[in-house]
Amino acid sequence: MKKWYKESYFDRKNWILENFDKLSLSSEETLLLLLIDLCKSARRPISYDYLTKKLSLNVKQIDTIIASLVSKHYLKLSTNSKGLVFDIENIFEFDPEKYEIAENKDLYDTTEDVFGRPLSPNELQKMNDLIEEYGQKQFIEALRISEAQRKVKMAYIEGVLRNVKQ
């Protein structure tokens, strides 16, 4: 089955621009993702030279942005015979509408929606502990990552939070 974001009518660039704030992307991260998407759609090679020139940043700054996107699971890097491969497909796996928490929904309801069921008392306690230790914003980010990785468990969310803290 073809993914919804791979349909011909789907405008990936507009989707990224519309949702970068909900995805907690900085302006540099957003621009980098848009450049990667542009190169992929035009079947152009992506190189550090190209990225540094277009973004007017040095290699170290590009590395920092890439590392941030990888840690958020929005970017995957691999290699093939032609060199470095940039994959941004994971970013489209998120449903940003689920994460308008502060305005529309209680965090517990949203977490239950992501889990697809009511949370157990132990999960609620663990969730409260994680929010108290790491904060609501970090918890939401970890919840997004766990959903993208299809590992929706409190233990996985806790692992993501620990990794981000380090």
Provide the mean pLDDT of the chain. Answer: 85
Q: Name the β-bridge partners of 80.
A: 83
The sign one gets for the Cα dihedral 116, 140, 27, 149 is negative
Look up the pTM and report it. 0.60
Residue 152: closest CA among 110, 121, 89: 110
Q: Which pLDDT does position 122 carry in this prediction? A: 86
Other CB atoms within a 10 A radius of the CB of residue 33 amount to 24
The letter for the amino acid at 19 is N
* 4-93, CATH topology level: Arc Repressor Mutant, subunit A (1.10.10)
| Domain extent listing, the chain | 4-93, 96-165
Burial class from Cβ neighbours inside 10 Å (0-12, 13-18, 19+) for residue 146 reads buried
Over the stretch 54-100, which tens digit does the pLDDT of each residue have?
999 999 999 999 998 988 889 999 888 887 889 998 888 776 665 55
Give residue 103's pLDDT band: very low, low, confident or very high (50, 70, 90).
Answer: very low
